[in-house]
């Protein structure tokens, strides 16, 4: 016999906040979500990421795979 009322309540328009600012709405089992970082703020997605080279590892990788870099 299947159990009744085992699933959590579904919120179709849960609000997602980052630093107190509303970012987006998503479906979730919680009415509000607070995140520390999201794609609009993350350096990888915003293009502000910088590669920190230790002991020439980045250059060795670039040479190995014949990748030409714009800035390093």
Q: What is the predicted pLDDT for the residue at 32?
A: 96
Q: For residues 37 and 44, is the Cβ–Cβ distance under 8 A? A: no
Residue-number span of the structural domain to which 37 is assigned: 11-64
Residue 69 within a domain: no
Q: What is the predicted pLDDT for the residue at 29?
A: 96
Total domains in the chain come to 1
The residue with greater pLDDT, 17 or 49, is: 17
What does the pLDDT look like over 18-71, one tens digit per residue? 888 899 999 999 999 998 888 777 676 667 666 666 667 777 777 888 776 665
The residue with greater pLDDT, 10 or 65, is: 10
Residue 25 within a domain: yes
Confidence of residue 2 (pLDDT cuts 50, 70, 90): confident
Residue 32 within a domain: yes
Residue 6 within a domain: no
Residue 38: partners with Cβ closer than 8 Å, 6 or more residues away: 16, 18, 23
């Amino acid at each position: 016999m299947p159990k009744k009322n085992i699933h959590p309540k579904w919120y179709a328009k849960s609000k997602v906040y980052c630093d107190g600012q509303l970012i987006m709405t998503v479906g979730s089992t919680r009415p509000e979500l607070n995140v520390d970082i999201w794609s609009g703020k993350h350096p990888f997605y915003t293009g502000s990421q910088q590669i920190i080279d230790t002991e020439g590892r980045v250059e060795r990788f670039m040479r190995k795979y014949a990748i030409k870099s714009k800035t390093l």
